[in-house]
Chains A and B, each alone.
Chain A
Amino acid sequence: MLDINPGLIIWTIVTFLILMFLLTKLAWKPLLSALEKREEHIRSSIDRAEKAARDAEHQAAENKKHIANAEVKASKLLKEGHELGEKLKAEIVEKAHHHARHMVESAKLEIEREKEAALLKLRSEVADLAIIAAKKIIGETLDVEKHRKVVDSYLDELPKN
């Protein structure tokens, strides 16, 4: 049973070497390279996925920050707007008041002036009427100019209004 058969040893070695040569060429090299390629592919895919996840997380954090900023800004703007509105309102009201006062005042002045003009006119009318009346009463004795002066001084003595 333990007889060594040199022929069989040589056949085995020859078979093994031919098999190893053929397998290395046709099977192991392509298999191993395909395996390595696939492993490399998987590794890079995982790396990329991890990077994408990290980026997404980063992006999400940034977005959150942006949103928070925007909220702060919006509330600030709102407040500012509100304040500005209040201020404008106050200004407008103030202006309107001012305008109104001004108008009232100018109206008063106008009235005053009108009144004065009316008084003046009235006074001259009254003087003229008085002169005419006096002329009629006392004839043409009195010089118009002289009479006017007399009437005027009389009228001046009269209380105003």
Chain B
Amino acid sequence: MSSIIDTIKTSSHTISGITDTVAAHTEHKENIFVELLHHTQDSPYLEVPFGHINLPHFPPVNIFGIEIDFSITKHVFFLWVSAIIVLFIAVAAARKNTKSKIPKGIGNFIEVFVVFIRDEIVIPNMGKEGVRYMPYLLTTFFFILIMNLTGLVPYGSTSTSNVSVTAALAIIAFVMIQSSAIRQQGIGHYLAHLTGGVHWILWPIMIPIEVLGLFTKPFALCIRLFANMTGGHIVIVSLIGLIFIFKTIWVAPIPIAFAVGINILELFVALLQAYIFTMLTSLFMGLGMQVSSSKENSH
């Protein structure tokens, strides 16, 4: 593991960096893909043309026996870049739309998404009460979308291709799903729901299953987003890597054509995954919120 980290530190991770890495490891080809995979991973520096910029590094903090490293890494940096882009776009849209009655330009563009999320995701899944959670779902959608897209920019990186980032998003989704359910049903109904409505003898089986069920949904959200965003990048890097495996420039047009194709697909996947994450979170929140009403109807 430490030797890999050394390699990461010594090699630049731009395409030229990959060339160096590949050149240094020509004797064992099986390492090329390991090196390529590291390109998609977090690093303590930013890749810029002609080298890299080191990001501030803090010593790990020990909280409750867990070593927590608050260093600003590449993914933290792009997390903030994405947040600033979202903030800028959304505020510009809001300014524009509150000023004039007829939405134009950026205001109209953002409103298309807002209306879509409200009318096609929130209201069908959660009903009218779901509109209260619109700010959370809108933030999730736009934040994930922009984070997905920043990786497609040269020298950019996709924060959502890091499992810690998607895990954090899933933790927030978990909290929102549970709190909206508790708020809608009350704590009593919420806990009663965990028994699955079966005979008390079965509770020792039912309760662990239901509790497990609570965690699997956000876990699936986390892994789905992470895998999708990582997968596309690995495919692109692998395609470019073919040039170095074949060690000839004449093969380049084919992998580049494929990589362009995958890049276009990635644009779509970025939007699709942001939509899926938002839609599923809304669906899970809606399920928790509507359990009580369906129960009351059946009794």
Contacts and interface: CB of A to CB of B under 8 A. Distances in A.
Interface of A: 1-13, 15-20, 22-24, 26-32, 34-35, 38, 41
A27 B73 CA distance: 28
Contacts, number: 126
A29 B70 contact: no
A53 to B, nearest CB: 23
B90 A6 contact: no
12 contacts: A1-B230, A6-B69, A12-B168, A13-B171, A16-B168, A16-B169, A17-B172, A27-B87, A27-B91, A27-B94, A32-B114, A32-B118
B101 A7 contact: no
A122 B168 CA distance: 155
Contact of A20 (B97, B131, B136): B136
Contact of B138 (A2, A10, A16, A23): A23
A26 B91 contact: yes
B66 interface: yes
Contacts of B95: 30
Nearest to A4: B164
B139 A20 contact: yes
A66 to B, nearest CB: 40
B239 interface: no
Nearest to A38: B101
Contact of A4 (B97, B142, B163): B163
Nearest to A13: B168
A1 B168 contact: no
Interface of B: 37, 41-42, 60, 66-71, 73, 75-76, 79-80, 83, 86-87, 90-91, 93-95, 97-98, 101, 103, 110-111, 114-115, 118, 131, 134-136, 138-139, 142-143, 159, 162-165, 167-169, 171-172, 230
A2 B70 CA distance: 18
A10 B70 contact: yes
Going nearest first, the 9 A-B pairs with the smallest beta carbon separation are: A12-B168, A27-B90, A8-B164, A24-B135, A27-B94, A7-B69, A30-B94, A20-B139, A28-B135
Given A7-B69, A16-B168, A20-B139, 8 more contacts: A3-B163, A4-B163, A7-B70, A8-B75, A11-B76, A19-B83, A19-B86, A35-B114
